[in-house]
Amino acid sequence: MMDGDASKVRKRKPTIDIISFNIIGRIMLSVFSFVCILPFWMIMVGSITSEGYITAHGYNIIPVEFSTESFRYIMNDATGILRAYGVTTLVTVTGTFFGVFINAMAAYVLQRKDFKYRNFFSFYFFFTTLFSGGLVPWYILCVKYLNFKDRIYALILPGLVSVWNMLIIKGFLGGIPDAVSESAHIDGANDFRIFIQIIIPLAKPVIATISLFTALNYWNDWYNSMLFINNEKLFMLQFYLYKLIGSAQGLQIAADKAGVVIDRPPIQSTKMAMTLIVIGPIIFLYPFVQKYFVKGITIGAIKG
Amino acid sequence: MKGILKELRRKKVLFLMLTPAFIHVLIFSYLPMAGTVLAFKQFRYNLGIFKSPWVGFSNFRFFFISGDALHVTVNTLLYNLAFIIVNNFLEISFAIILSELNGRVFKKITQSVMFLPYFISWVIAGVIVYSFFNYEFGVFNGIMKSLGLPPVDVYNSANWWRVLLVFFSAWKNVGYGTIIYLSAIMGIEHEMFDAAEIDGANLYQRIRHIMLPCLVPTMMILLLLAVGNIFRGDFGLFYQLVGTNPLVYDATDIIDTYVFRSLMTSSDIGMAAAAGLYQSVMCFVTILVVNKIVKSVQRDYALF
């Protein structure tokens, strides 16, 4: 946790400027925090409110008619969501491991001062952040030439290399004295061994935070699923939810048209329950990982 | 040439370590750049990118004459401008408040809560917006009804989106930006504040005359990056929150959603490629020009 507690060092008697600042500051932070947390609260309330209440009065902020029918409905057939969890976990773990490894390795080479062409290669990577071919050629390349349709690697490969992450790692490694690599060289270790056994342990903070950011990106990805995946067995979690919300709306309209009232699934509350199930792990892990993300941003910011 | 071969032999391992990232960028960034020739062709899937017939500038002509080009460009620019102004204003304000406020626990909680939306995907943000502003079940119309006001059909009224998109961009991103600015504030030498305090400057004067000037470098880097991407919209935000509703395209269609739609409906892939290339070139030119200007005014702030 980062907090600028200069205030506790300097004991000062409260003057009008400090009092007013504290009042205004507290109000502003409270309002914004309330706005940030409210939707999460509402999802939770929606998921445990009875369908009958929602269809009659809409979603509510205060829990009124408690019911677990949405969760029971999901539990009836949870294969879809469980499979999506499985795919997402597989993609996240594989993508994060190889992605961070590849980026860190390249970053190490690019900051080695005895690597003659490091300026050329740095430019080679950096240029892609300035100019891109755009979505259309990229998409056609992936679909027509790399055969991405309905393949699991279509979910992993696109996010593997991130030039920004590479630059952040490079900036961090730049702070490690050259003498570390050189002395290992004299001992006869090759560059890869130096990287694995000496550099990675020294670069642990930056590797850890880049891993977290990469993992979050993979976990939250729906874009690649949308572009490349038609087979619902390969849907990632976020896309599974997206499809479900879409089809729930379709279901609703169809049911309304047919005038079917009996045995209608609890559509509105199920949407919220499903959303809650999808964000569950993030909310659960958030208190533990948050401070590493904050550190990570700070590392990135110093690099600038 | 001889030099690079010699270096290749001497630094075999380093080159090998660079290879995965090199190939990835070659395939996923440089090949699509070559694929931008598509913008000057009439794409036929069976013929592929390079064998499709040339059509000169007709894709561009079509994109510009239809009026779409102007309309999506203006939307992209204005939204990004609004995001930059609103988000940076909030981020700087919150960072200053968090750094000077008393009350450790309060700050810890609010900072954590503000950062939370950054961790969820736009799919979930889309569900949240839907459950707030849905015509039948939304919380918003529930409140309107209970106040005796007529319900609002947000999803079919363009003007609402101009506000909502800016609002939710801030909702999701301000927590992250606040941490960047806060870490910049942490880096400021505290002697300056103490000296100013002894000299009788009140808190607001210290913020105005010491803290804000110290934040300028960070602000410049973030602004430069943001302005460099001003022709590139946040696809997830627009696509997941608004979806594809022709009724509100006037207010919500940006270059990215336009290109995506043209590609997915396969209506005119050549024109989609032209629009994408136009976007990339505009981005590229903007970042070069802005960087040049910044460099001539204050060398240290330039990106490259």
**What's the average model confidence in pLDDT over B12-16?**
92
Residue B26 pLDDT > 70: yes
Report H helices in A174-236. Answer: 178-186, 191-194, 200-202, 204-219, 223-228
Helix B12-25 and helix A118-130, axial crossing angle in degrees, nearest 10: 10
Structure confidence at residue A251 as a pLDDT band (50, 70, 90): low
Structure confidence at residue A295 as a pLDDT band (50, 70, 90): confident
Burial of B205 per CB tally in 10 Å (0-12, 13-18, 19+): middle
Residue B175 pLDDT > 50: yes
A70-74, A234-238, B40-44, B264-268 — which one is most confidently predicted on average? Answer: A234-238
Give the pLDDT of residue B8.
79
Q: What are phi and psi of A66, to 5 degrees?
A: -70, 140
What number of CA atoms fall less than 13 Å from residue B281's CA on the CB side? 8
Structure confidence at residue A275 as a pLDDT band (50, 70, 90): very high
Contact A164/B at CB under 8 A: no
Structure confidence by residue, pLDDT tens digits, A17-56: 889 999 999 999 999 999 999 999 999 998 888 888 888 8
**What's the average model confidence in pLDDT over B238-242?**
93
Is there a domain that residue A99 lies in?
A: yes
At A66 the three-state DSSP class reads: strand
CA dihedral defined by A161, A163, A169, A174, rounded to 10 degrees?
Answer: 130
* Neighbouring residues of B51: CB distance < 8 A, sequence distance ≥ 6: none
Give the pLDDT of residue A303.
46
Structure confidence by residue, pLDDT tens digits, B51-92: 888 998 998 998 899 888 999 999 999 999 999 999 999 999
Give the pLDDT of residue A111.
92
Give the pLDDT of residue A181.
81
Distance from CA of A77 to the nearest CA of B (A): 22
The domain tally of chain A equals: 1
For residue A210, the domain's CATH number is 1.10.3720.10
**What's the average model confidence in pLDDT over A217-238?**
95
Structure confidence at residue B297 as a pLDDT band (50, 70, 90): confident
Q: What are phi and psi of B41, to 5 degrees?
A: -130, 165
Residue B98 pLDDT > 50: yes
Structure confidence by residue, pLDDT tens digits, B102-116: 989 999 999 999 999
| Inter-chain CB proximity B259 and A220 less than 8 Å | no
For B48, the closest of A36, A144, A272 (CB atoms) is A144
At B41 the three-state DSSP class reads: strand
Q: What are phi and psi of B20, to 5 degrees?
A: -55, -45
Q: Which of B167, B304, B107 is nearest to B224 (CA)?
A: B304
**What's the average model confidence in pLDDT over A60-78?**
85
At A115 the three-state DSSP class reads: coil
Residue A183 pLDDT > 80: yes
**ipTM field:** 0.92
Residue A304 pLDDT > 50: no
Considering only CB atoms, which chain B residues are within 8 Å of A29?
A: 94, 97-98, 101, 106-107, 110, 114
Is there a domain that residue A126 lies in?
A: yes
Distance between alpha carbon A259 and the CA centroid of its chain, in Å? 41
Contact A4/B at CB under 8 A: yes
Q: How far apart, in Å, are the Cα atoms of A143 and each of A91, A146, A224?
A: 19, 6, 11
Is there a domain that residue A250 lies in?
A: no
Q: How far apart are CA B204 and CA A19, in angstroms?
A: 11
Contact A128/B at CB under 8 A: yes
Which residues does residue B41 pair with via DSSP β-bridges, in sequence order?
A: B54
pTM of the model: 0.91
Is there a domain that residue A246 lies in?
A: no
Structure confidence at residue A84 as a pLDDT band (50, 70, 90): very high
Residue A169: domain span: 79-228
Structure confidence at residue A11 as a pLDDT band (50, 70, 90): low
Q: Which residue has the higher pLDDT, A109 or A253?
A: A109
For B35, the closest of A109, A133, A301 (CB atoms) is A133
Give the pLDDT of residue B258.
92
At B229 the three-state DSSP class reads: coil
Structure confidence at residue A7 as a pLDDT band (50, 70, 90): very low
Q: How far apart are CA B131 and CA B137, in angstroms?
A: 7
| Size of chain A in residues | 304
| Inter-chain CB proximity B128 and A105 less than 8 Å | no
pLDDT averaged over chain A?
87
Helix B269-297 and helix A118-130, axial crossing angle in degrees, nearest 10: 120
Q: How far apart are CA A78 and CA A67, in angstroms?
A: 19
Give the pLDDT of residue A253.
63
Architecture of the domain delimited by B60-301: Orthogonal Bundle (1.10)
Give the gyration radius of chain B's Cα atoms.
Answer: 25
Helix B68-100 and helix B158-186, axial crossing angle in degrees, nearest 10: 40
* Neighbouring residues of A199: CB distance < 8 A, sequence distance ≥ 6: A108, A173, A176, A180, A181
Give the pLDDT of residue B176.
93
Give the pLDDT of residue B10.
82
* Neighbouring residues of B185: CB distance < 8 A, sequence distance ≥ 6: A4, B95, B96, B99, B211, B214, B215
Contact present, A268 and A245 (Cβ < 8 Å): no
Disruptive mutation site among A17, A30, A36 for chain B (greatest number of B CBs within 10 Å): A36
Q: Which residue of chain A is at minimal alpha-carbon distance from B240?
A: A242
Structure confidence at residue A68 as a pLDDT band (50, 70, 90): confident
Contact present, B116 and A286 (Cβ < 8 Å): yes
Contact A189/B at CB under 8 A: no
Q: Which amino acid is at B173?
A: N
Q: Which of B167, B124, B165 is nearest to A44 (CA)?
A: B124
> Per-domain residue ranges for chain B?
17-56, 60-301
Residue A250 pLDDT > 70: no
Distance from CA of A224 to the nearest CA of B (A): 12
Q: Which of B94, B86, B95, B109 is nearest to B183 (CA)?
A: B95
